[in-house]
């Protein structure tokens, strides 16, 4: 489950293709909501329930105005981050057998990954380049379910709309 951010693709797309594991496999710029989600074979049975859950949340605007670093990860920080965190909590609450990142993190921080590397100097260099083009402003109107195929490539299975209006 993710929120695609196509507005960020011109700025981070090439960095992601060169320096992340998921971009070469079909995932464009995005904020992850829940990974892993149900196995691909069970996505169709989860889709209606998920659509009802997603449509309870309102569309919102987000700005990515700065980069941040974790060890080995350069990312964009969304502002506001709360709507992403609320979506993650709602989905994980509905499927508690699939905690975000398999429960590896006590707190899930919404983010848009730009690059992954153990070379801190490389990440700082990419950050300096990306920051020249910020902020990225996007309208979040849907969440997407992606599934992995037998070749380990990711494809959008469904785009589920959020509620219109303020």
Confidence of residue 137 (pLDDT cuts 50, 70, 90): very high
CA R_g for the chain: 16
| Coil/strand/helix, residue 150 | coil
Q: What is the mean pLDDT of residues 122-132?
A: 98
Instruction: Provide the strand spans (E) within 10-96.
Output: 30-32, 60-70, 73-79
Q: What is the mean pLDDT of residues 125-130?
A: 98
Q: What is the mean pLDDT of residues 139-153?
A: 94
Give the count of domains, the chain.
1
Torsion sign across C-alpha atoms 98, 94, 5, 48: positive
Residue 107 is assigned to a structural domain of this protein = yes
| Coil/strand/helix, residue 100 | helix
Residues of the chain with pLDDT > 70: what percent? Answer: 98
Backbone angles phi, psi at 148, to 5 degrees: -95, 130
Residue 166 is assigned to a structural domain of this protein = no
| Burial of 151 from C-beta contacts in 10 A (0-12 / 13-18 / 19+) | exposed
Q: Is the pLDDT of residue 165 over 80?
A: no
Residue 128 is assigned to a structural domain of this protein = yes
- Do the Cβ atoms of 113 and 69 come closer than 8 Å? no
CATH number for the domain including 91? Answer: 3.90.1140.10
Tokens 């981050």: give the residue: 81
Convert the pLDDT of each residue in 6-33 to its tens digit: 999 999 999 999 999 999 999 999 999 9
Instruction: Take residue 56 and report the two structure tokens written for it.
Output: 């309870």
Residue 151 is assigned to a structural domain of this protein = yes
Convert the pLDDT of each residue in 73-101 to its tens digit: 999 999 999 999 999 999 999 999 988 87
Instruction: Write out the residue range of the structural domain in which residue 32 sits.
Output: 2-161
Residue 55 is assigned to a structural domain of this protein = yes
- Mean pLDDT, rounded, of the chain: 94
Confidence of residue 133 (pLDDT cuts 50, 70, 90): very high
**pLDDT of the residue at 166:** 54
């Amino acid at each position: 489950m993710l929120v695609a951010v196509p507005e960020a693709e011109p700025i981070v797309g090439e960095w992601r293709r060169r320096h992340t594991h998921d971009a070469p496999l079909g995932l464009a710029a995005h904020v992850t909501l829940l990974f892993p989600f149900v196995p691909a074979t069970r996505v169709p049975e989860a889709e209606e329930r998920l659509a009802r859950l997603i449509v309870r949340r309102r569309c919102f605007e987000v700005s990515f105005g700065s980069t941040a670093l974790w060890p080995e990860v350069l990312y964009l920080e969304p502002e506001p981050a709360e709507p992403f965190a609320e979506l993650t909590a709602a989905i994980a609450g509905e499927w508690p057998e699939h905690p975000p990142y398999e429960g590896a993190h006590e707190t899930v921080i919404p983010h848009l990954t730009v690059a992954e590397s153990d070379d801190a100097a490389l990440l700082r260099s990419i950050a300096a380049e990306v920051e020249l083009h910020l902020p990225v402003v996007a309208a979040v109107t849907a969440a997407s379910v992606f599934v992995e195929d037998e070749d380990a490539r990711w494809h959008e299975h469904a785009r589920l709309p959020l509620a219109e209006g303020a």
